[in-house]
Structures are given as structure tokens and as C-alpha cells.
Structure 1
């Protein structure tokens, strides 16, 4: 699932600057790099060596938001003689710049991942690397891990391999522009093939029971002193682009399983039955028909994230059901469970090394396996520590707390107002039957609610807004109480 983004107008950013700075302080998000790390980054740029394999003849392109500079992936798509497709997918070679055990490596292990806030990001690596010579920006020759996927005419992968190569992207494209060009028929063939291949891969995903959820982006504006929160549906091209990344993650998992050493992103096939029943109840309460025998994946793929009730269900259900973990193995000691239930296949993170620590390691494992070599010692030494390292990441928490902050600002002028809502979750299992989550019909906001009596799942309640304070230091910046 692609990361849901929040876009905030400049006026809104200025108004919430103090609250956003406070949020970063609460999360202990390091907004500056130490001097010795910045110096190490400069040295790494001077010392980097390009791979011997030259793939600069490939006319690669990237697709990212217009302002992005830390570009992890570039691609070239073509038809194969005799039928089918070939996908070249270049991934930034962060290991070419980060020396194991050095200052950059230590800092990355402290940060774990890039943190995104509505007004800025806190990067994993210094921008002098991540937004410069390690990034797949256009018209510069850079080191990369170059994947080659061969697909049949139905979009099934028949072969995947990866090796180091020097590459050069020729174009930095954005989602809206690519969507427009594809629909107008003016896109170059390699770009136009993204729709053809992406659509086939979506069909392959549905056939195997996979789930793709592209939640809409949030857009926050400030007008006449009032905050407004609206939703912008994801473009189809974002889903097609995500399919290329998913395909690569599945190929990486398979390569590591065959080599006998790796680290997977796993998710059990079946959640706790009490949780499953609760998710079914939430769907019913929100007016979403979930017929008996219909798999969760089938239901999710039928929903429209632009619908406020559907989005509320997806947000809550994903948080409750789709809890994944990392599974490591080596020396052909393959674990019993290797699958990822939402993807319906083994899967590994490997396509965002500029923004996520673990991807640097999975990339190295795959390159070594495809070359018939043993993994580098520094990868093996860190293998069993990586799950604990990744558990310290704050990316999802930062996203969730930023949403809470913005929704508090949206409701800030409506304290003491009474709203109609539905209780879509309770804390009864945690011994707090009088606390839970309420979903408002309008505006489409979810918040904490307390009651003088036991909250009943699915109850329609009148909820008085007690607090909506972006600067509140606790987690519940929004708080309702039943009346």
C-alpha cells in the first residue's frame, strides 16, 4: 500500500508551525545531522565508485510528486520479442555511499526511516547524498541496483534478476502529468506501457487474493481563519506504479528464499477471530455490505476510498487486521511462515533504500544471491538485529499523530458543539469499556470518545466536542464525550 500523503497550504503550515515543531519534539525527531555525519556524507560522495556494468543506454524515467528529490526508483518498460514484457527497475544504491559501521551507517540505524510531516520531512540520510548523487535524478550517472523482470503476455513474472550497474535517468515525471499523457495518448511507449503492465499486474494480484488499498491524500487549507480538510483520490497511475514496486518486492523475497538467507515482511493469514468479528461489525455499522463467505481481500478491492465511510472502514480495518512483522532466516533454515497475507505471496521491502533502513540490506542479499556469492559479512552481522531496529521506526506514528493534529485544527473552533456519530471501536478488551473511537458523519473525522456508561460498538451517539487542541501534549488532541 502506498503511503498516504498530507498536503498543507502555506498559510495552514504557518498557522500550525508551533504545533508541528512540538510534535517533532515529542517524537524526538532529529531535524539536523551532526557535523561528523555531514562530513562523512561529503567524503562518501568524493569516494564513491561506479559499477563496471554500464546500463546508461536505458532511457529510464522516474514518477514522483513534483517536489521530491530523494528518488529511489526509475524504470524502463518495453515489449519482449515474441510476446510479453520486460521491466528494468533501477533502485538507488545507498550501500555505495554508506560504509558499514561508519558515521552514516550509525546515523541511519538511529533514524531507521524518513519521517514525513505536513510541512517538512526528517530524512534518513543527509540530503547531500539522498537528494544528490545517490538519488535517481535526471541526467546524472549514478550507481544503482538494476532489476530486470521478464513477464509473459498476461503479466506473470517468468524471471527476475538484479545486479549493480551505472544508470542515468532521462526524465523526472509526476503522477498527474503521466496520467494526463497516458489518457491523451501522447505518452511515450515506455510510459504508456505502465498502464498496460500495471493493469495486468492488478489482475494477477486479484487472482491470487492480494489486497491493494490506495487511500486518498489529505489536503489541508486555511481560509477566513478556518481550517478545511478535504480528500484527493489517488490516480490510477499511482496504483500501476505501486504494482511495479510490489512485483520487485515479491521477486526479492523469492530470490532470498531460494538462496536460504533473507529478511521478509510477513503477515499471518488469519487474524484473531475476535478481531475479525469486530472488523465485520465495523463494516456493518458503516453501512458496508459484507456478504457471508466474501474474503476480506475481495471486499477491500471493491471499496472506493473516496467514499468517506469506506475510507473510515479501511483506515480502521487496516490498523486492526494488517499487522505485519519481519522474519529473518539464514543457512537455509526457512521459517514455517513466509507469506504476507495482504499481498498473498512472500514479500520483502527493497525498493526505498533512501527512505527506509532495511531496504539497503535486502538489496545486498539479492545482488549477492543473483551473482552466486555469499552475502557481505556486514549484512549477515546485522540480519537478526534488523527486526528490532525497524520496530523503533516512527514513520507510522508520525503519520498518525500529524493527522490527529490537523483534525484538531479543523475542529478547533467547534469545541462544545454536539455531533452525531457512530462508535466504531471500544476499549472494552483493554478494561476500558467507557472509552473508544467515534466516527463523525460530518466532518469525516475519527476521534477518541468517553462516556459515563459502557460504550456499545455500533451505537449511534451524540458526541460533544470537549477538546480540539493541536498543541495538546497528549495523544488525544481530539476528545468527545457522549451527551
Structure 2
């Protein structure tokens, strides 16, 4: 029998070898074959694998085994430092801190190869695509991966961002705003080192020297923009996350030269009454839908659905300037005050926007569904279409809910079949049982000056769900078609929760009297059962939050392990190539696989798909972080003049340092230091998501309703600090762990342990 280390090393090697392939499986059968395990020994192997899984050393994705927490075979990473031996260390460029500390990667450099090719060797501060392999037996704090640079990306120095405050006679000071650097304190800028910066400008700086006395000296490297109103606050997120937001001249020239596409290689769908349904403030419209009764007597009560998507591939040539720009950006980024598009407006808001009564090229899915909503067949077509109407979600819902008038009769003839088909799809969705979390999303509305006017929770309408179900069905059809054609592409995948997170969830649910039956195969329906049991109870919000935190993060990959949240075996992003590069890759793959024209995915691109998947996954996480931080800063600015005011909210997190609170209404996140919770020593109970008083047993737990007073607001850091006034929910009973314990000595806990910096206060 192989040892545990042998099995883990084998899984890691095989995953690395399969990194560039769309299909690949490593399960018990493959391990048995590799180590020549036969007969009764397979039972012992099964027990060994089960032990490794229960310990969290490996995880099971469907029937495939993966080493727990394994990075993708190729990851976008930053070269961070050198170790004591002079070897380079790297870390993933974007990492969800909820997963714990980012893993360290030890880089191996092939000196001969670099000298022969003339390629520069990586150095701290570089960003690169790195092929990684787990290091077995790594000690805590040591690198857990070995890595080899696949591609060194253009060098971009790390920026320390701040606000320049001018002094009389020249020079001034820098007030850092980057959350990672705010603890440095202010920096001094000497006369002549301020460059073109004016008072109140956002700047990036270079630190010249630090000493034991006085402020560190710095020099302004670049003036990034004026921050004289809230409308410019998203500049901070753009620059701190290095999000490209100015199109290169060659990309703009290529976009302006583009002309409307012809009918070549296209079917004529202009007579079909497709329509777009989007948010009221949408500037581009890249998807259109249509439904009609299926006349086929073999499909009684069934429907023919059409989902037409703007044909971006017709205008963005592989390897061209627009393609390079879109690949680097990865996706569009949406802030309350601006949108940073993946493609220039000439493409996204003009040539590829499905405007009413204008001819537009599209790549379309034609889907046949039965009366119960399950898909019978599908096909993809390259078409020329003409949208019959443009509706907002609210308009569509209002029309379908109201009695039709003469003016809307023709529109209703298009809308009614759509909603009938949605009813059938909803039946299939309910039977499939995707994860059904109830966590409303808030939207920040700004006034003309860019200040926060209101924070609203838009209603969730059937029109939203209709478009969502149509898009999911088209995405599934795209993945199925490409698999059937054995065409390499990029999947949208969502792994099932790790064993460690499931065990933590089960322990938490047990603390509130709920049992979680994990079973042999984990399914989203098991979580839905728990959510259904707490619906309408005091624990509903709490359990929804904890179940959300149990889930893995969705990503892009060439290796398919399904979409756990949607409960789908195969899934791809097909429906928005204007704002996601992954969708453009899928479009090109379909064009190539189905011979729909000359602008399909180049065959040479198959080798790059793993690299592209890693890069756009990191870009997606980068965009999410930037959007979240900008919202935090805007709301902190909105509340800055309400110091001393009281608010109602809920505890949204707990750590050894204190409690995180989310306010009702605005959804603002803030922090209560543990030192301000009362005359007790509060210890963190991770399983219960709570702080518990060691002497009193008083418990402050995730989801509890609280009344707080705003003590401090730091808009540029997006941070709020609160004081707890009272809990509106009944206090939790004293924990068993607190009974009989002596009061912990407060002297053991220093200020740095109980009072985190302002920069950390608004983050979980």
C-alpha cells in the first residue's frame, strides 16, 4: 500500500499534468491503477482515502479527488520577497482572506533557460503566471507550493496611495488611504517633490527614507486625480487594485475602425420578435430573449426558446489590440459612480448593443423545452437580429401584472409566452434544487454631485428570475455543445464546500438546535432544507449568513468539477461577452466547433486556456474587492457627519479583536473593539461565530440585533467604529465553557490585540 504522502504527491502531480486539459479524472480507480493495487487491497485503499478526506487532506469534487485547498495548476501571483536563502517567494495576486492566510510559493528559476532566451528573471514586485505544485510535508509558515514562472507580466511597481496636503512654501504631507499602508502614518514631502499634485489630490508616492526621528520622506510619483467630491472616490479602488481604466490608443483606433457586420455566415432572424429586458439604467443591451409554443405534437405544452447574445467575436479579433485589452481587464467593473468597461463604448454601447429596430449580429441558442421545463434539445446559430423592444425589469413586470390595453397588445403577445415558458423552467429549477440563499442586495444611489442620496434594496421580481433562468439554460447548452464536440474551453465552476467548513457548519447548527445530515454526497438541497426550517424565525438571517460563508468561491477553469451552487454537472459563461472575457472565449470556441465563421478560437489558444482561466479568475476577485471597498468608502463618507448618532443593525462577524456590525438600511459595515464590550474578557468561539465573556458567559453572536452609536468615521479608509449600546434580542445563555472558569486577567491583552486599526475596522 502507498503511504499517505505517496497518495498526496500522486494527486498533486496528476492535477498539474492535467492543468491544460478540459477533461481529467483522479479517483480511487486511477490511484489503484497507478500503485498496482488489486483485490482486497482496494478496500484498504478506500479506507485510507476516506481517512484523508475526513482529515481535510484531500477533498472530493464529484467523483474526483483533489488535495485540500489546492491552487489551480497555473495561478496569477505576485513575487513578494526573498527568503533567508535568497530564493524568491510569491503569493496569489488575489486571495479571499476568509480561506485563511494566502499560501506561499517557492519559485524555482531556470538560469540557463533565462540566459539563453534573454528573458528577464523575476524579482520582488513582479507579477507573473506561475505553474505550481504542492510541496509535501511543508512546515507551518513555510512555502506550501513550488512554482515555475510561465509568463512574466509587464512590471508595475506597488503603489502607496495617499491624499496630498500642501504646506505653505511648498511640499506638504501625504495621508495614506490604502488599507494595507494606513498604519504607516503620515509621510513628509519636501519642496519640489510634490510634482504636479495640488492640495486634496490622490497621488502615488515613493518612500525616500525612513528614520528614527521625524516623518518618513516621500516623493510624489504620479498625480492620479482630484478627490474634491465623492464622485471621484472610486479612483482609490482603481489604483490600489491596479485596475486598467484608460484604453490604450491602438485599442481605441481599432474600435473606431470597426464597421457593422454583414450577413455572411448568418441566418436571418430579424422577423423574430426578440426583446431585451435589463436594469433601467443599463447603457448596453447584450442579450435578447423570445419564446413561443412548440408546434411539434410530440412535445405537448412545450416551448421553443431563443436566447440571442451580441456577437462580440465579430468585432474583437484574437490577438488584436482590443482582444489584448479585454484579456488584461478580464471583466467590466461596476462602481456606484462609474463603470470601467472591458471594451470601448464603440463596441459595448454601439455595435454590440442590441438596440430596438436596428440590425445587430448575434450568436444565438435555440432551446426546446418540455412542459415541465427540462431541455429536450438545443442548437447554436449565428444570426442577424432586430430587437422588437427594450424593457426594464420593472416595465416588464408591470405590463405582465396589469390588464393589457390596446397600446400594449402587440408587446403582450411577446411577453406572455416568455412568462409561460419561465413558469415551466421554474418547475425544472425547483426539481433540480439549486442553492436558495435569501440575502437581499443593496444598491447605492448618488445625487448629481456624486454624494450618497439613498441606499435601496431593489425588489426581486419574476422578470429578474425569468432572464436568469433563460441565461442559465443557454450557459448549460453551450457547455454541453462544446463537450460533445470535444472542443477545449473555459468552464464556470463552483466547488462543493470543504469538509472543514461543513464540520464547522454542523457544529454551529447543533449550537442552535439544528441537525445537519451531511450524507455521502453533498448537495445544495441539503442546505436548502436547513434554510427552509429557519425561514420566518429569529435565526433566519443568521443561518443564511453562515451557510453563505460555508460555500466555496466560484471561478473559471479548464478542468470541470461542476457548479455546486446551481447543482449543474457542466456550466459555462456564454451570455455576456461584452463584459466578461470568459464568455468571449466560449463564443469563439462555439464558432470554431460548429464551423460558424472564420473568427473562431485559434487552435493555438487551447494551450493558453489554463493561463487565461487563472488570470480572469483573479481579475474577477480584484473587481469584487474594488467594488466592495468603494461602497464602504461612499457610505462612510455619507455617515461622517453623523458622529454620535445611534443606529440599529446586526452582528455580521466576530473575531478575537471584536465584533463587526452591519447597519440596517444603509448596509454600512463597522467595528466594535472587544475592549468596548464591557468589563469582561471576551474569547472568540469560531464554531458559534460569537464572542463569549469568560466571567459572565455573555454571548454576542453573528446575527444578533444590536443598537450602536457611531464613534468614528474614516471615509477614505472606508471604516466605521461603533460603540455597543444594547442588544435587542434576548441575551444568550451562559456557555458551558464559561461556567466554573475564573475571570481572565485583562492585563494579558494589549491594545494591539483588542483595538485594530481604523483601516481594518470595516473588513471581516
Taking structure 2 as the reference length, what is the TM-score of the superposition? Answer: 0.53
Moved more, 80-89 or 47-56: 47-56
Pairwise CA distance, 1:258? 2.3
Q: Are positions 1:160 and 2:391 aligned together?
A: no
Q: 1:446 aligns with which of 666, 669, 689?
A: 669
What corresponds to 2:350 in structure 1?
132
Task: Give distance in 2, aligned partners of 1:170 and 1:267.
Answer: 36
What corresponds to 2:480 in structure 1?
254
Pairwise CA distance, 1:321? 1.1
Pairwise CA distance, 1:482? 6.1
Q: Secondary structure at the match of 1:241?
A: helix
Task: Give distance in 2, aligned partners of 1:50 and 1:263.
Answer: 27
What corresponds to 2:660 in structure 1?
437
Pairwise CA distance, 1:379? 4.1
Q: 2:553 aligns with which of 305, 312, 323?
A: 323
What corresponds to 1:237 in structure 2?
463
Contact 1:92 1:134 in 2 (8 A): yes
Q: Are positions 1:45 and 2:259 aligned together?
A: yes
Q: Structure 1's 315 and 99: CA in aligned 2 closer, same or farther, altered over 3 A?
A: farther
Structure with the largest fraction of helix: 1
Task: Give distance in 1, aligned partners of 2:533 and 2:266.
Answer: 47
After the TM superposition, which residues 144-293 of structure 1 pair with which residues of structure 2 at under 5 Å, given as runs?
144-186=362-404, 187-212=411-436, 215-220=440-445, 228-260=454-486, 261-274=488-501, 277-278=504-505, 281=508, 292-293=516-517
Instruction: Identify unmatched segments of 5+ residues in structure 2.
Output: 1-226, 405-410, 518-524, 676-681, 691-698, 701-705, 726-764
Q: Structure 1's 21 and 437: CA in aligned 2 closer, same or farther, altered over 3 A?
A: same
After the TM superposition, which residues 254-403 of structure 1 pair with which residues of structure 2 at under 5 Å, given as runs?
254-260=480-486, 261-274=488-501, 277-278=504-505, 281=508, 292-293=516-517, 295-299=526-530, 314=544, 317-329=547-559, 337=561, 339-345=562-568, 346-371=570-595, 376-377=602-603, 379-393=605-619, 394-403=622-631
After the TM superposition, which residues 18-167 of structure 1 pair with which residues of structure 2 at under 5 Å, given as runs?
18-45=232-259, 50-81=264-295, 82=297, 83=300, 84-167=302-385
Q: Secondary structure at the match of 1:57?
A: coil
Q: Are positions 1:414 and 2:637 aligned together?
A: no
User: Alpha-carbon deviations, 1:51-81, whole Å to 9, x = none?
Assistant: 3322222111100123323211111111101
User: Alpha-carbon deviations, 1:61-104, whole Å to 9, x = none?
Assistant: 10012332321111111110133000111111111101111110
Task: Give distance in 2, aligned partners of 1:226 and 1:399.
Answer: 15
Pairwise CA distance, 1:239? 0.9
Pairwise CA distance, 1:448? 3.9
Pairwise CA distance, 1:178? 0.5
Pairwise CA distance, 1:344? 0.4
Pairwise CA distance, 1:348? 1.0
Q: 1:477 aligns with which of 709, 719, 728?
A: 719
CA-atom RMSD, angstroms? 3.6
Pairwise CA distance, 1:369? 3.4
Q: Secondary structure at the match of 2:355?
A: coil
Task: Give distance in 2, aligned partners of 1:226 and 1:99.
Answer: 40
Q: Structure 1's 173 and 419: CA in aligned 2 closer, same or farther, altered over 3 A?
A: closer
Q: Structure 1's 178 and 47: CA in aligned 2 closer, same or farther, altered over 3 A?
A: closer
Instruction: Identify unmatched segments of 5+ residues in structure 1.
Output: 1-12, 330-334, 428-432
- Larger-Rg structure: 2
Q: Secondary structure at the match of 2:258?
A: helix
User: Alpha-carbon deviations, 1:19-60, whole Å to 9, x = none?
Assistant: 233333333334332222110101233677753322222111
Q: Structure 1's 465 and 454: CA in aligned 2 closer, same or farther, altered over 3 A?
A: farther
Contact 2:531 2:544 in 1 (8 A): yes
Moved more, 437-446 or 318-327: 437-446
After the TM superposition, which residues 4-19 of structure 1 pair with which residues of structure 2 at under 5 Å, given as runs?
16-19=230-233
Task: Give distance in 1, aligned partners of 2:653 and 2:683.
Answer: 12
Of the two structures, which has the highest relative contact order with CA contacts closer than 8 Å and spacing of 6 or more? 1
